[in-house]
Amino acid sequence: MEEKEVIEEKLKEAYSILINNLDESFQYISSHPDEKKETIKIWSNFIRQFMRDAIKLSEKNNEKDLIKTVTKAIMFGR
């Protein structure tokens, strides 16, 4: 398997994990409505940490195009 295909496969795995976790979060909120704010906070912290680390990696590798594209996709769905 080529490196590019490995990257794509790992992203698919990560996506699946995130979608499953999101679904579990919705189910958890449904059965524990009093935990909604805390569950949202967990997700918010996760996304912020991901973006911080992604920006650091981008700067470390002196490659801003990738992180710009990821950020636009997250923010604007593009």
Q: What's the pLDDT tens digit per position in 22-34?
A: 999 999 999 999 9
Both 45 and 57 in a single domain? yes
Q: Are residues 24 and 51 in the same domain?
A: no
> Do 66 and 50 fall within a single domain?
yes
* Residue 36: per-residue pLDDT: 98
**Average pLDDT of every residue of the chain:** 94
Does pLDDT of 64 surpass 90? no
- 16 and 50 inside one domain: no
Same structural domain, 50 and 77:
yes
Q: What percent of the chain shows pLDDT beyond 70?
A: 99
Q: Do 42 and 78 have their domain in common?
A: yes
Which range of residues forms the domain containing residue 22? 1-31
Ordered DSSP codes for the chain: --HHHHHHHHHHHHHHHHHHHHHHHHHHHHH-GGGHHHHHHHHHHHHHHHHHHHHHHHHHTT-HHHHHHHHHHHHH--
Res 75: pLDDT: 85
Count up the domains in the chain and report the number. Answer: 2
